[in-house]
Amino acid sequence: LLPLMMGSMDMIFPRLNNLSFWFMPASLYMLLSSMFIENGSGTGWTLYPPLSSYNGHSGPAVDMSLFALHLAGASSIGGSINFLTSIKNLPVEGMRGERMVLFIWSMTVTAVLLVVSLPVLAGGITM
């Protein structure tokens, strides 16, 4: 939808777009299959309990669910980088700045926020 709104045929990095798309189902599969390893991850839907201490439910299921979250974050970062570079480089001549559709502006803000915040969150769940 984004390239069509900018008057382009495709994104700047179509392979990165494809890779980030296929990381998401792999992440979902890993997150769901972590329930069946040993006793499951035991963290609930918020992943709030301590994930790496003995007070929490540490083990390979938690490690697998954390890796699934890292994979989902990598998918979002890849898609965001692709959106940002496509928005910056693809619009036709008359579609710069205030002439862009509001959806493209909102995707730009969302992509910038994801690129800035997801590495910090990934570092937080790794600790």
Q: What is the pLDDT of residues 66-100, one digit of tens each?
A: 899 999 999 999 999 998 998 888 666 777 777 77
Domain span at residue 64 reads 2-126
pLDDT band, residue 16 (cuts 50/70/90): very high
How many domains, the chain?
Answer: 1
Q: What is the pTM of this model?
A: 0.82
Query: Would you say residue 25 has pLDDT above 90?
Result: yes
* Cβ burial, residue 84 (10 Å; 0-12/13-18/19+): middle
Note the pLDDT of residue 100.
78
Determine the pLDDT at residue 30: 93
pLDDT tens digits, 27-60: 999 988 988 888 777 777 777 666 656 666 667 8
Q: How far apart are CA 8 and CA 125, in angstroms?
A: 38
- The per-residue pLDDT for 65 is 87
